[in-house]
Structure 1
Amino acid sequence: MGGLREVAASFVVPGPSGVAIRSGLKGLTRQDETVLRQVGGLLGSLASRDLKVRCAAGTAHDSEQWARRKRALTGDSSSRWAGGITRATHDQWALARRGQLAHMQSLRAGVDTITHRLAQPVGAKGSKGSPGGYHSEREWFAKSRRLHVLEDRLERVRADWEAGRVRVVRGGKKLARARHHLQAAGLSEARWRLRWQAERWFLQADGESGKRYGNETIRISPGGELSIKLPAPLADLANAPHGRYVLAARVSFRHRGEQWADRVTAHRAVAYRIHHDTDRGRWYATASWQIPPVQTVPLETARAGGLVGVDMNADHLAAWRLDQHGNPVGAPRRFDYTLTGTAQHRDAQIRHALIRLLHWAVRHHLALAVEDLDFAADKTREKHGHRKRFRKLISGLPTARLRARLVSMAAELGVAVVTVDPAYTSRWGAQHWQKPLTSKNRKPTRHDAAAVAIGRRALGCAIRRRTAPPPHDRSDRAGHRTVLARPDTLGREGPRPRIPGPRTRSVPPGRGAKAGDQSAHNRSGHTAEHEPWTQDSLPLSP
């Protein structure tokens, strides 16, 4: 067992820190859409200009430069619009910076893997945790050329990182590249232009506590009236006092509408974003706000009544209910979903599978145990080589999206989520649980057995099962325990307690003085039987 890595401790996942809800803007007039396009286009051009300045500053950016950026935008918009633009561009630069670091780490991992495999003889087999050599000289030569390519890329990315340079495309790099491949993307030039402009618009404003309805720039009243504070160059388009434009549409948030109404009535901060879906031709308004961190239950409380072990796979969630001692209860459950089609369809499939899982857990008043999966380092082609199907499989698993949605939805239903280390759960689950749980009417899969292993690790139990008692023709006459003790029970891994008594033909062996001494069983110099027994003398007086 020395080659196995240390398993991290389990913990209860904290709840979400924010809320976002969306509503369609129905009933917009042609004038309303014209105003939204002009405001979004003007502020989008200012955001592009500010992003260029922020990227040029790099890591040397400070509060004084931030103030200069804001003053440069205030004259062409307003103080609040300028503050929102500078914060958004700074967040965009920081996100690109984190992506640059992740890309550099991925390139470094690929270089290290290829360098190690090139140093091995051709055809050499790898050991556990260490890959061997390449299969042929042709592959060795191809990988040696790829090593130079990766080293050049790593050198360029490292130079950009040290200089503080990032490469950002407002509107998205994918959409920008689609301009040169319109036929492959299924877009016409006019349709691509419309989508490109909509993605580069800026129509969002941060909330302000204490201000009317929680936002002075984009304001939605409790009755659903939506108004926008127009930038200075477009003030002549105002149809309401104080340079505001009131849209004809009425906003109605169906999801969390009561929470949103409570916040805007109390003038608490609510951030808004207006965006246009060019494919559907619809406008939407998104409201978001921060919520206080949810107090997570202690780990022992989540374990108290048992829990549900969940194993995430490419097309389904495998779940099995466990009691507080780690014993599987009932039959395994499977919650299917498909990851094909549009992004909206895939997202809906994941939500549907999760809500069925959570409703099942709520009925039994149980917490959920999931793996802390992160396939960022396992998606590289250098680690898995020719296993293209496996790389495609793990690349398609929506680990981040599923984890975020599960935590958010579980917090709403009051279900605790316990995260465990994913090390060896599938392997040990199949080894220790798949065959024992198989019966004439139940055929559990490896994924079902992995769900049991995940649940036992979350409960603090060992994944392996207790050894079944030996046949009755053995010396101890089937005396081993088979019931699982609680993880906090002292001596649960120790020998059975000694039962005193004589060794006669009517009493089974193994109950002598050394029955509890495991070091004395079947070893030279020791006897596993009882010492000579002598009848105590009878008392002489009553």
Structure 2
Amino acid sequence: MAVDGLRVIAPSFVVPGSSGVAIRTRLKGLTVADERVLRLAGAHLGSLAGRDLKARCAAGLEHSSQAWADRKRGLTPESSSRWAGSITKGSHDQWALARRGQAAHIAGLRAGVAMIERRLALPIGFRGGKREPGGYRSRREWHAKSRRLGVLRARLAAAEADRAAGRVRIVRGGKRLLNTRHNLGAAQLTEARWREHWEAGRWFLAADGEAGKRWGNETIRITPGGEMSIKLPTPLADLANARHGRYVFTARAVFAHRGPEWTERIERNLAVAYRIHHDADRGRWYVTASWQRPAAPGLPLCIVAAGGVVGVDTNDDHLAAWRLDSHGNPLGRPRRFCYDLTGHAEHRDAQIRHALTRLLHWTRRAGVTAIAVEDLDFEQDKTREKHGNRKRFRRLLSRFPTAKLRARLTGMAGEHGIAVIAVDPAYTSRWGAQHWQKPLTTATRKVSRHDAASVAVGRRALGHPIRRRTAPPPRDQSDHAEHRTAQAGPDTRRREETRPRRPGPRTRSAPPGRGQYAGNQDAQHRSERPAEQDTLPLSP
């Protein structure tokens, strides 16, 4: 339970490393015949995938393994048994993803309804606290929100009815691209150009890996030399240029990133999944290889943090980092790794990757094997009803990629041999600024609130308290206006000698020594003599 009104701090833990691997390369040197085969195969398999997805969504919650087998059996004559397996599995995964999105949508609607109901019950103009918003500012806003409450309740009822019935709504190719058709001017696209994007987004050229098969995949096969071939669907078998209804492409697939690992895997005939897709904007074809590898056994937190950590405070425009030793003491100077979260999603993702790359390289150079980050989750805070008219803050929460940053950091850190420690984010910024910002600031080093928060994050990961002991009032200190626990600086001379005599009482129990024995430790009231003083003469 919470103490002194503070919520319970969750224990820190080592984040398990990612087990999935995906690499991508461009298919260069495709001939006209190669592209024609890819377009025909993608369009044909895409139509089968759309039909199968419709059947899966119609089955809803009544779907069973027997229904899955019937769907696969029905697709096999028009493709192949392996293509049918990939299509049915993709439809099932898409339906499951839509169900998870539906659950998140319902949770957001419920949070919005509860927040509006609470604020409507408060008097108009009632000021809220730091954690909870108050009432609405005017009668007009109160009336508008009461109407919005009715809209959200209707949406919530419809969404809950769909979930209870097992209904989901999926757009192959993406809902955003579908809505772009009605705003071609704003998207700066012609209808023909939009059609190219739409068709490319609905093609299906993906095959699951098969362990024990040659090169790890019988449907889309890539040899160690880069030769790529696919098993053509039955209606396109006349386009084959190799045995067993296969088509061998002129282009070579060369994986520069993780190439040795991929080569070793396919030479051992381990499963590797492939996906071929077309970038309509650039007019390029790409192939992505992915596989699963066994997760490395997790190490205990005490072993991971034995050599110190790098505490990281995540902010809207930068990562504030500071290296700490095993005792929780900051070493060196703080570092900042900036990024820009404005623009489209691909730009934001690239900015996050570059910042994390610089952070990991600096961590390796420092000789540290652990990074401590806050276990952030803004999913419950993204509703616009919770933060009222703070549009800038709501936009910040909506665009901040907490899940993507955590996944990126875990995957990238594992490749560098660096562990990631997740800590509870409660009070790290507040206590860091209160207890560490001023003590760490010097004439040549300006420490920000975010730098101090990184120290707080690192100390919590190491198991040390964040808050420092507060000095008692001057009149309650044994040495009056001087702190008893203050240590002498490294350049202070004579710090090992006895304390000089001062007039007046030194403690509340006994007066200070006086006269010629004031500095003699052997002449004071003590239970034993000091070990370094000997009363026996050294010579006769």
Q: TM-score, normalised by structure 1?
A: 0.88
Deviations 1:392-427 (A, max 9, x none): 112121212211111111001101110011112112
Aligned residue in 2 for 1:446: 449
Q: Which amino acid aligns with 1:330?
A: G
Residue 480 of structure 1: how far off its partner (Å): 4.6
Indicate if the aligned counterparts of 1:296 and 1:416 stay in contact, CA closer than 8 A. Answer: no
Q: Percent identity?
A: 67
- Alignment partner of 1:15 out of 8, 14, 17: 17
State the partner residue of 1:418.
421
Q: Which amino acid aligns with 2:389?
A: H
- CA–CA separation in structure 1 for the residues paired with 2:122 and 2:483: 53
Aligned to 2:507: 509
Task: Flag structure 1 segments of 5+ consecutive residues without an equivalent.
Answer: 484-503, 513-532, 537-542
Q: Give the residue type in structure 2 aligned to 1:120.
A: L
Residue 399 of structure 2 corresponds to residue 393 of structure 1: no
Asked if the contact 2:132/2:386 (under 8 Å) is kept, the reply is no
Partner residue in 2 for 1:337: 339
Shift of 1:128: 5.3
Aligned to 1:86: 88
Distance 1:226 1:282 in 2: 16
2:34 counterpart residue number: 32
1:368 partner letter: I
Instruction: After TM superposition, give the deviation of residue 73 of structure 1 in Å.
Output: 0.5
- 1-structure distance, mates of 2:152, 2:452: 40
Partner of 1:384: 387
Q: Which moved more, 1:168-177 or 1:447-456?
A: 447-456
Unaligned runs of 5+ in 2: 488-501, 511-524, 529-540
1:226 and 1:246 in contact (8 A); partners too: yes
CA contact (8 A) 2:478 2:484 kept: no
Structure-2 change in CA distance of 1:136 and 1:159 (3 Å): same
Q: How does 1:116-515 map to 2 (within 5 A)?
A: 116-127=118-129, 129-366=131-368, 367-468=370-471, 474-476=477-479, 478=482, 480-481=484-485, 508-509=506-507
1:384·1:391 contact (CA, 8 Å) conserved in 2? yes
Q: Is the 8 A contact 1:466 1:482 kept in 2?
A: no
Distance 2:251 2:350 in 1: 27
Return the offset for 1:4: 2.5
Instruction: Tell whether the 8 Å contact from 2:374 to 2:457 is kept in structure 1 after alignment.
Output: yes
Superposition deviation, residue 341 in structure 1: 4.1
Task: State the shift of 1:25 in Å.
Answer: 0.4
List per-residue Cα deviations over 1:368-406 (Å, max 9, x = no partner): 000111111111110001100111112121212211111
Give, as a single letter, the amino acid of the residue that structure 1 aligns with 2:352.
I
Change (3 A) 1:327 1:82: same
Q: Structure 1 CA distance, aligned partners of 2:128 and 2:347?
A: 41
**More deviation, 290-299/205-214:** 290-299
Shift of 1:343: 4.0
Change (3 A) 1:479 1:52: same
In structure 2, how many angstroms separate the alpha carbons of the residues matched to 1:461 and 1:41?
Answer: 59
SS in 2 for 1:347: helix
SS in 1 for 2:379: coil
1:436 is paired with a residue whose SS is helix
Determine the C-alpha separation between the residues in 1 that align with 2:456 and 2:347.
31
How far residue 125 of structure 1 moved from its aligned partner, in angstroms, is 2.3
Letter in 2 for 1:328: P
Deviations 1:64-85 (A, max 9, x none): 1101110110111010000000
Q: Number of residues paired by the alignment? A: 497
Contact residue 468 and residue 480 of structure 1 kept, 8 A: no
Compute the displacement of 1:192 (Å). 0.4
User: Does the 8 A contact of 2:30 with 2:250 survive in 1?
Assistant: yes
Check the 8 A contact 1:24/1:251 in 2, yes or no.
yes
> Aligned pair in 2 of structure 1 residues 192, 469: CA closer, same or farther (>3 Å)?
same
Question: 1:332 Cα deviation (Å)?
Answer: 0.9
Q: Which residue of 1 aligns with 2:76?
A: 74
Q: Which residue of 1 aligns with 2:64?
A: 62
Cα deviation for residue 428 of structure 1 reads 1.7
| CA distance in structure 2 between the partners assigned to 1:144 and 1:428 by the alignment | 39
Residues 95 and 473 of structure 1: CA distance in aligned 2, closer, same or farther (over 3 Å): closer
Alpha-carbon spacing, 1:510–1:369, altered in 2? closer, same or farther (3 Å): farther
**Contact 1:469 1:482 survives alignment (8 Å):** no
1:470 shift after superposition: 6.8
- Corresponding letter in the other structure for 1:216: E
Q: 2:120 and 2:79 mapped to 1: Cα distance?
A: 58
CA change 1:304–1:535 in 2 (3 A) is closer
CA displacement 1:247-303 (0-9 Å, x = unmatched): 000110000000000011111100000000011110001000001112222100122
Amino acid at match of 1:509: T
CA deviations 1:79-107 (Å, max 9, x no partner) are 00000000000000000000000000000
Change (3 A) 1:353 1:127: closer
2:486 & 2:287 partners in 1: Cα distance? 60
CA distance in 2, matches of 1:373, 1:279: 35
1:432, 1:341 → 2: CA distance? 37
8 Å CA contact 1:469, 1:480 repeated in 2? no
Stretch of structure 1 that moved more, 390-399 or 179-188: 390-399
In structure 1, the partner of 2:513 is none
Cα distance in 1 for partners of 2:173, 2:95 equals 14
Matched-pair contact (CA < 8 Å) for 1:476–1:510 = no
> Secondary structure of the equivalent of 1:384?
coil
Name the SS of the counterpart of 1:140 in structure 2: helix
CA distance in 2, matches of 1:505, 1:287: 82
For the 8 Å contact 1:468–1:482, the answer to whether it is kept is no
Q: How far is the alpha carbon of 1:136 from its aligned partner?
A: 1.5
CA deviations 1:420-475 (Å, max 9, x no partner) are: 11112112211222222222222211111111111111111111123358769942
- Cα distance in 1 for partners of 2:51, 2:4 equals 57
Whole-angstrom distance in 1 between the partners of 2:211 and 2:509 = 75
Query: 1:473 and 1:128 mapped to 2: Cα distance?
Result: 35
CA RMSD of aligned residues (A): 2.2
CA distance in 1 between counterparts of 2:161 and 2:472 reads 64
Question: Compared with structure 1, are the counterparts of its residues 239 and 118 closer, same or farther at alpha carbon in structure 2 (3 Å cutoff)?
Answer: same
Q: Distance in 2 between matches of 1:297 and 1:382?
A: 42
Measure the CA separation in 1 of the matches of 2:128 and 2:106: 26
Asked whether the equivalents of residues 339 and 349 of structure 1 are also in contact (C-alpha less than 8 Å), the reply is yes
Q: Which residue of 2 aligns with 1:489?
A: none
- In structure 1, the residue matched to 2:515 is none
- Separation (CA, whole Å) in 2 of partners of 1:258 and 1:265: 11
**Matched residue SS, 1:318:** strand
Measure how far apart 1:178 and its partner are. 0.3
Gap change, CA 1:124 and 1:340, over 3 Å in 2 = closer
Residue in 2 aligned with 1:51? 53
